[in-house]
């Protein structure tokens, strides 16, 4: 027994001696695994609708995805109507109201959505007939109710109102306009004005023209046989009538001849959104597509090891994340490298992005980096195959783009064949550090000059939040204009000095929405300098500020405090009735500090500094004289923060004009305050402003 044990021990020591592994070298990659994506069946109805069926009986669920294979359309001055046409198909039919559609869908536990290029529905297998009855009714008989359109338009405009304070959304819009141009459907931007131009007839026309079976694919996935799928589609979709559908040709956008720099001004921003982008001609199934994907993952794809991430986050500490994408598209694709950094390193960030773009074009890719990325892509592809919908989408792509039938079956084999030189050549052709649009959303006065050096002509273009090019030459202050002139014009614009002097007190009732809760506010003011603001939610007081002419107090859910120092001085200044009438008498300093574009209007910037040294920047419209914006820097525990208030929707009350919409933003927080009523000279009692 002992000899047997000794032999075992001896054998265990001998094995490693003959199998030493050189751990200084990575193991050679094995052959790519052989995969088979899965079977799917196809057939067509007499009306031209092509059907793709992927059988999967693992769970008793079936889904139906209708996809229109059409060219995008130009929407021009009514951008947004195509999207609304798709979403509002579900808003009611000649047989069912929206509420009835929702109720029937919920009753069977189904999901059902519509969009501009099709619709999707899914349910348990036993509810298939009910689901298809709903789906076909929506497809055949949408009514596009005017009241639902009005509601959707209102919601869309409300959502768009946040773009002016969202640097990321601004960069999206500016990039869209620059990359694709105004004559390409991808270059159109939805604005409040374009939404207001939408009519119900536009929605109906889009549906009538483009929702046709001869340009449609129906992808059916789940617990269903091909034979059953054929019977169901014949029953529910065979009477869908075919018709000629127009096709559209568009000129392919080209990258700029040299780097072009654009800035969208996000007033008071402490961070910049930085994007380097340009159009790319790369269609689905292009022989270069996989090589480009590997190359982009090395540069800045969805892995932490991407060069942009390693440079900007790990090495420089500029950002939490930096990514790049490069897309394929039948019309035109796009490259984008994007991140968000603090203002002080905006120009350095652009320099590093361009450096990494240049480096991947010219330096060989490290073999270990290449294998890391290929392994990542291999795993991602394998995980995607766990979903039957992946197989369905692969089948749809093969049919739509005329790809080889084994295009996805051979994916891993083709991925394994990509070399470091392939990646470099792909970068040399598709990465353009000298022909890019460099788009920055941030505080323009702070970052614009630092970006001039990246422009091929040392110019920085200024854009509005919706991608509208601003005329910087119009920002020159006309000769002879002074700060006092601007303030005088404002006084006249709102009703004149006499009208303002005659206003002895005012009560303003307004409301706002925050996190789904309605906030009610009542502001009381009495000449010369008494002020009270009460804020409540759900009938409960949450904050109150009072100034009695000498003392200031703030109270709320956390208790109350007497105000001192800068907070007291700010409330004192805010409490003066019609302060524009008495700036000079009270020792304020007025400075005309140039002009800026505010919501598409040229405005004078007046810096108003109180005797206590507190400065507020106010912007007055050059054309109307009305105040468009106020901004002040506030000290917070997180550092200086710019508070911005925009004034809109001026209306006349008792001969004086007041803004009925005030949009306030402080850092990432925004609040829209809507005025419901204004009461002037109601005889407010001093007791209302008493501080105990």
Q: What is the pLDDT of residue 436?
A: 97
The 10s digit of each residue's pLDDT in 404-418 is: 988 998 999 999 999
HSE-up of residue 225 (Cα within 13 Å, Cβ side): 3
Which strands, in side-by-side order, build the sheet including 260-265? 322-327, 333-342, 271-280, 437-442, 260-265, 460-463
Model confidence over 19-31: pLDDT tens digits? 444 555 545 555 5
Domain ranges of the chain: 41-166+179-237, 260-470, 483-689
R_g of the chain computed on alpha carbons: 32
What are the Cα distances from residue 67, in Å, to 236, 393, 402?
Answer: 16, 11, 16
Query: Which residue reads 């290929």 in tokens?
Result: 374
Give the up-direction half-sphere exposure of residue 312: CA atoms within 13 A in the CB hemisphere. 33
Residue 572 CA to residue 610 CA, distance in Å, equals 11
Q: Determine the pLDDT at residue 1.
A: 37
Same fold, 41-166+179-237 and 260-470: yes
Residue segments in the chain with a per-residue pLDDT below the cut of 70: 1-38, 472-475, 515, 634-641, 667-668
Select from 3.20.20.60, 3.30.830.10, 1.10.3480.10, 3.40.190.10 the CATH code of 41-166+179-237: 3.30.830.10
The pLDDT of residue 68 = 97
pTM over 0.85: no
Question: Which residue from 380, 384, 379 is spatially nearest to 397, judged by alpha carbons?
Answer: 384
Q: Which CATH architecture has domain 483-689?
A: Clam (2.50)
Q: For residue 324, what are the β-bridge partners?
A: 337
Strand, helix or coil for residue 520: strand
Q: Give strand pairing partners of 669.
A: 666
3-state secondary structure of 671: strand
Which runs of E-coded beta strand occur in 281-332? 322-327
CATH of 260-470, one of 3.30.830.10, 3.20.20.100, 3.40.630.70, 3.40.390.10: 3.30.830.10
| pLDDT score recorded for residue 266 | 84
pLDDT value at position 277?
Answer: 98
Count Cβ atoms below 10 Å from residue 119 Cβ, excluding itself: 21
pLDDT for 640 equals: 60
Cα–Cα distance, 219 to 283 (Å, whole number): 22
Does residue 437 contact residue 277 with C-beta atoms inside 8 Å? Answer: yes
Structure tokens at 308: 């942009």
pLDDT at 537: 87
Among residues 508, 559, 517, the alpha carbon closest in space to that of 536 is found at 517
- Residue 600 three-state SS: coil
Which residues pair with residue 615 across a beta bridge?
A: 609
pLDDT of residue 388: 78
């Amino acid at each position: 027994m002992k000899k047997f044990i000794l032999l075992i021990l001896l054998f265990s020591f001998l094995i490693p001696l003959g199998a030493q592994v050189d751990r200084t070298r990575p193991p050679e990659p094995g052959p790519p695994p052989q995969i088979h994506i899965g079977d799917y069946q196809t057939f067509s109805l007499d009306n031209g609708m092509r059907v793709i069926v992927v059988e999967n009986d693992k769970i008793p669920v079936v889904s139906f995805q209708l996809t229109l294979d059409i060219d995008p359309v130009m929407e021009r001055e009514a951008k947004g109507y195509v999207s609304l046409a798709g979403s509002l198909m579900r808003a009611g039919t000649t047989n069912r109201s929206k509420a009835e559609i929702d109720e029937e869908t919920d009753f069977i536990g189904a999901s059902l959505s519509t969009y501009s290029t099709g619709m999707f529905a899914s349910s348990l297998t036993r509810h298939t007939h009910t689901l298809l009855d709903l789906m076909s009714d929506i497809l055949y008989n949408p009514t596009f109710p005017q009241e639902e359109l009005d509601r959707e338009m209102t919601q869309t405009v409300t959502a768009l109102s946040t773009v002016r304070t969202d640097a990321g959304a601004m960069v999206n819009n500016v990039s869209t306009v620059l990359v694709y141009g105004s004559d390409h459907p991808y270059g159109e931007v939805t604005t409040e004005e374009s939404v207001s131009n939408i009519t119900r007839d536009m929605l109906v026309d889009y549906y009538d023209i483009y929702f046709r079976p001869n340009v449609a694919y129906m992808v059916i996935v789940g617990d269903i046989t091909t034979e059953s799928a054929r019977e169901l589609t014949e029953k529910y979709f065979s009477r869908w009538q075919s018709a000629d559908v127009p096709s559209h040709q568009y000129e392919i956008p080209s990258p700029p001849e040299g780097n072009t720099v654009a800035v969208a001004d996000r007033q008071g921003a402490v961070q910049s959104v930085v994007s380097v982008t340009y159009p790319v001609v790369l269609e689905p199934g292009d022989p270069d597509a996989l090589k480009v994907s590997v190359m982009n993952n090395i540069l800045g794809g969805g892995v932490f090891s991407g060069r942009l991430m390693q440079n900007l986050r790990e090495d420089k500490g500029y950002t939490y994340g930096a990514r790049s994408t490069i897309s394929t598209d039948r019309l035109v694709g796009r490259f984008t490298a994007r991140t968000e950094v603090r203002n002080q390193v905006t120009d350095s960030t652009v320099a590093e992005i361009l450096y990494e773009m240049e480096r991947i074009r010219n330096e060989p890719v490290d073999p270990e980096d290449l294998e890391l990325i290929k392994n990542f892509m291999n795993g991602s592809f394998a995980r995607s195959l766990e979903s039957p919908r992946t197989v369905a989408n692969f089948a749809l792509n093969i049919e739509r783009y005329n790809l080889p039938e084994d295009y996805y079956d051979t994916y891993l084999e083709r991925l394994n064949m990509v070399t470091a030189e392939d990646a470099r050549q792909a970068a040399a052709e598709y990465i353009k550090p000298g022909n890019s649009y460099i788009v920055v959303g941030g505080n323009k006065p702070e970052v614009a000059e630092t970006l001039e050096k990246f422009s091929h002509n040392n110019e920085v273009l200024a854009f509005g939040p919706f991608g509208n090019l601003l005329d910087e030459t119009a920002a020159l202050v006309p000769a002879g204009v002074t700060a006092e002139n601007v303030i005088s014009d404002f006084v006249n614009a709102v009703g004149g000095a006499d009208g303002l002097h005659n206003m002895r007190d005012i009560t303003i009732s307004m409301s706002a929405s925050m996190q789904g809760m309605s906030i009610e506010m009542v502001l009381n003011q009495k000449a010369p300098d008494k002020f009270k603001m009460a804020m409540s939610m759900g009938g409960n007081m949450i904050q109150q500020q009072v100034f009695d002419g000498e003392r200031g107090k703030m109270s709320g859910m956390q208790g109350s405090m007497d105000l001192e120092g800068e907070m007291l001085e700010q409330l004192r200044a805010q409490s003066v009735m019609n302060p524009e009438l008495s700036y000079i008498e009270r020792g304020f300093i007025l400075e005309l500090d140039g002009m800026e574009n505010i919501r598409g209007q040229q405005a004078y910037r007046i810096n108003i500094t109180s005797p206590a040294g507190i400065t507020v920047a106010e912007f007055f419209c050059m054309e109307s004289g009305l105040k468009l914006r106020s901004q002040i820097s506030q000290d917070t525990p997180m550092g200086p923060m710019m508070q911005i208030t925009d004034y809109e929707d001026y209306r006349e009350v008792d001969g004086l004009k007041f803004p009925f919409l005030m949009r306030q933003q402080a850092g990432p927080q925004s609040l829209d305050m809507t005025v419901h009523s204004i009461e002037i000279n109601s005889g407010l009692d001093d007791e209302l402003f008493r501080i105990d």
